[in-house]
Chains A and B, each alone.
Chain A
Amino acid sequence: MKQIEAVNDFVIKFANVNGSGSASANELFAKAILRMGVPVSPRNIFPSNIQGLPTWYEVRVTEEGHLGRRGGTDMMVAMNPQTWDADIAELAPGGYLFYDSTRPLPPSKFRDDIRVIGMPLTEICNAVYQDPRQRQLFKNIVYVGALAILLGIEPEVVEKLFGEQYKGKEKLLASNVQALHLGCDFARENLREPVGLKVRRADRVGDRIFVDGNSAAALGCVYGGATVAAWYPITPSSSVAEAFQKYCTKFRVDQSTGQHRFAIVQAEDELASIGVVVGAGWNGARAFTATSGPGISLMTEFIGLAYFAEIPVTLINVQRGGPSTGMPTRTQQADILCCAYASHGDTKHVLLFPEDPHECFEHAAAALDLADRLQTPVFVMTDLDIGMNQRLCKPFQWDDSKAYDRGKVMTAEELEAGRDFGRYKDVDGDGIPWRTLPGTHPTKGSYFTRGTTRDAYARYSERGPDYIYNMERLLKKFATAATLVPQPVLRPAAQKTGLGVIYFGSTSPSMHEALQELEGRGIHLDAMRLRAFPFPESVVQFLAEHERVFVVEQNRDAQMRSLLVNELDADPAKLVRVLHFDGTPITARFIVQAIDAHVGKANVQGNTTTGAKEAA
């Protein structure tokens, strides 16, 4: 048997039981590698459950900085008997199995083509700790200690992390360090046979920060000037609102009076949470809600109202697997169409597609500006993969001199000066009307906001021409939106090619890696990363300039492709679907296989390619 050998380039997966305290130990493991200057890309794979079900934590160690999921496992830390068989089966040949050998297992439970490393974790902990909870919790730290020795992670780095984590809690610090050393010492004495996977100190992390997308989006809302948030708990978006609460408590409390400069409502349901946001937006606050697919479904009536009555609304949709309750703890990009056209009647909405936490921060702030400028709902379409996993990304930057774009709000002075106010009148030719805020002027500028049809002066009207004027103005406004949203990012191929690929959101890191690999195989593609809907003119050009364009997305029905066909009259025959929708994040391997297979069978017609099957 040839064991896998790799330095700073492997995947280690921890199979645990949720609620056992493994999450913080596993995160510690990942952070220690980061501190050694080696990029990692960790992912939580967890069930919709509080305690007792299987959960995994997958760490991709990648000196090259590939932050997408790789697929395949080189080392398995098998701590969960429930999933043992599947976990063992998933290991690559020549891979390593690390397990708790306290209780003997029959040889049939192992494989011949893997290296097995047993360590009596339970026995070690039971000998040292009396408290059952400690026995359980420190088992995780003990295996981190052993893995540090096996893989070449410096224990001092882990100790330093403990020092930061338990600052001022000396007792906790000491007991964690003790557990770490228990693991290290055992490995040094008993696990002497070298392991082919190594972590070697490097300098590849740079100034990047390690943060989850939900925290980033919440911070973007703080910087973007949101003062009102309303939400209803739903996985995987709850931590957006919770992080907003945390940051507001830190940054938005008046130091002298203790007064809160923010308002957060945990509403009774999603209908109420979007209602609060609509009311606050109508009354001049910057307001947002964070939710996921089922919440969007519930909010659609209000979204239609905000579209038609033209009220600024920001929604952060952390997408999960649908339809219905679907896969609450798995990732997908399957709400594209339901958000683009949310609500009955003719509606269209602005969508932003952040690729990582850095863009979650930027897009959340941008969405608040866009919502005010365009007086319409703006969706930030993140997903569970970005939202709930910590990811290395560029540090956030904010120019403190930047003024918020509050859009077209007519002041009391302007009204007093006799300026004509038609709430739904297009005076500037961009389809965006002026609005007034309640309480502005004693006699001028008031109007009655409604979801029913009205004329340019907000007077109730069911006259055809009034209706058409309004609906066409909304279309013009949408065309204006295309010029204001974050523009696509083009990554040209090394040489001229008729092949293009369109992708967006969390697919980004895997796409970059796939493009490198494909180039190595002689397949050159110009790549366009969409960052928003409506699509700017550059997308039309990109489609026109290529004979065949792959559209890579994480849903079953090729929703972005449908949107391209529907909105741009793109020729469906040249748009090739590349679809990944099993709930796991898309991998470079998947994309490479799908595109390679399609390019390879040039004589075979058809425009769907799903790549080879891969292990989850």
Chain B
Amino acid sequence: MTYLAKPKLRHPTLATNKVGYTRRDYEGKISTLCAGCGHDSISASIIEACWELDIEPHRVAKLSGIGCSSKTPDYFLGASHGFNTVHGRMPSVLTGANLANRDLLYLGVSGDGDSASIGLGQFAHAMRRGVRMAYIVENNGVYGLTKGQFSATADQGSKSKKGVVNTDSPRRAWSTPTARSTWWPWRCSSARATWAGASRATRRSWCRSSRARSAMEARPSST
């Protein structure tokens, strides 16, 4: 849907927050994810949360790994610098960015493939170090971009579109309490409608701005 230009029109009476921005100022490019994808709800929640918290958009640095979740930083906070890094390694890049400039807010966006499989180590070490960041894991239990493979958080017994049953137990890294970093287990509806059969029973969309807001708010002020 990249060929659709995002309209710049906005309602003339849109409310502004304390730093003078409307919600529209927190938007990014138009999403290229599948229609109905829960990730878009998370993006919308981030937009809402940043507006509510009176964060200046350009004072946020948004970093991600690789995958559907990691594409989303292009779809919110268009005035922020973003960095779509390599698969599973967003935490280290964000750590380095953080060391270079302590004045910005750091938002890390990742998925279950990114943070529970290939990047489980970096995820854990970012927690261990207490990196000053909001860490959002967009967990849908599936590899969306490569079309339907199970991720490490897929529920045991889930059946893929092709009929394969997941026999492995899911990785639940999210239940680890962390001292100083903030992260949130986003369990959203499946990335692809075609995969919904395996997930409908167990996955709910928890994408409320209150969640995003608590993630952004709870970030410690310094490391």
Residues in A lying within 8 Å of B, measured CB to CB: 227-228, 230, 263, 265, 267-269, 271-285, 287, 301-302, 305, 436-443, 446-452, 460
Q: State the main secondary structure of chain A at its contact with B.
A: mixed
The stretch among B52-60, B134-142, B184-192 that forms the contact with chain A is B52-60
Closest to A263 in B: B99
Contact yes or no, A305 B101, CB < 8 A: no
Tell me if B84 is interfacial: C-beta within 8 Å of chain A. Answer: yes
Contact yes or no, A446 B78, CB < 8 A: yes
**Chain B, 119-138, CB within 8 A of any chain A CB:** 121-122, 125, 129
Question: In the complex, which residues of chain B have a beta carbon less than 8 angstroms from the beta carbon of A443?
Answer: 58, 79
Contact yes or no, B101 A279, CB < 8 A: no
Q: Cα distance A156–B78 when bound, in Å?
A: 72
Contact yes or no, A228 B74, CB < 8 A: no
Tell me if B211 is interfacial: C-beta within 8 Å of chain A. Answer: no
Contact yes or no, B84 A449, CB < 8 A: yes
Q: Cα distance A230–B125 when bound, in Å?
A: 14
Contact yes or no, B73 A228, CB < 8 A: no
Closest to A228 in B: B99
Contact yes or no, B82 A272, CB < 8 A: no
Question: In the complex, which residues of chain B have a beta carbon less than 8 angstroms from the beta carbon of A268?
Answer: 121-122, 125
Tell me if B85 is interfacial: C-beta within 8 Å of chain A. Answer: yes
Q: Which of A276, A436, A437, A460 contacts B95 (CB 8 A)?
A: A276
Contact yes or no, A277 B100, CB < 8 A: no
Tell me if B173 is interfacial: C-beta within 8 Å of chain A. Answer: no
The total of interchain contacts (Cβ-Cβ below 8 angstroms) comes to: 142
Contact yes or no, B103 A305, CB < 8 A: no
Q: Cα distance A263–B99 when bound, in Å?
A: 7
Q: Which of B56, B78, B79, B93 contacts A282 (CB 8 A)?
A: B93
Band of interface residues on B:
35 or more
Known: A268-B125, A285-B100. Contact between A276 and B92, CB under 8 A? yes
- Identify 23 residue pairs between A and B in the complex whose beta-carbon atoms are under 8 Å apart, listed by A's number: A230-B96, A272-B89, A275-B91, A279-B92, A279-B93, A279-B94, A280-B97, A281-B100, A285-B96, A287-B96, A287-B99, A287-B100, A302-B89, A438-B81, A438-B97, A438-B104, A439-B58, A439-B61, A440-B58, A448-B81, A449-B81, A449-B83, A450-B84
List 14 other contacts, CB 8 Å, given A283-B100, A283-B104, A285-B100. Answer: A230-B92, A268-B125, A276-B95, A279-B63, A279-B95, A282-B83, A282-B96, A283-B96, A287-B96, A438-B97, A446-B81, A447-B81, A449-B83, A452-B84
Q: Cα distance A438–B84 when bound, in Å?
A: 14
Contact yes or no, B73 A448, CB < 8 A: yes
Q: Which of A273, A279, A301, A442 contacts B100 (CB 8 A)?
A: A279
Q: Cα distance A228–B125 when bound, in Å?
A: 18
